[in-house]
Amino acid sequence: MANALRKANSADAEKLIAALRGLQMESPFGRIVWRPLDHQSTMGAYVGQLARKDGRGVMVNWRYVDGASVQPPDEEIRKLRRE
């Protein structure tokens, strides 16, 4: 959000919406991009199973999934949004 505020140079909602279109930033997981079409971030997530180990909840069989690799293509989004 800080990057969007800097790019917009404002907290105005419409200016922030415009600033998010294509906004790119570095994160601990690599570059994140907000798609101009629908403002969806390419930030990924850790996916795995929950288990109990030594009385504590832990994630096992986990992997990091890059958000860009699971987003539908722009053409599919356009159909869904009827743009």
pLDDT, tens digit, 9 for 90 and up, residues 45-65: 999 999 999 999 999 999 999
Has residue 83 got a pLDDT over 60?
no
3 three-class SS: helix
Query: pTM of the predicted model, to two decimals?
Result: 0.69
Q: DSSP string covering 18-68, please?
A: HHHTT-EEEETTEEEEB-TTT--B---EEEEEEEEETTEEEEEEEEEE-GG
Q: Which has the higher per-residue pLDDT, 10 or 83?
A: 10
Mean pLDDT, range 26-55, rounded to an integer: 92
The closest alpha carbon to 1, from 47, 11, 70, belongs to 11
Mean pLDDT, range 17-35, rounded to an integer: 91
| Position 34 confidence tier, pLDDT thresholds 50, 70, 90 | very high
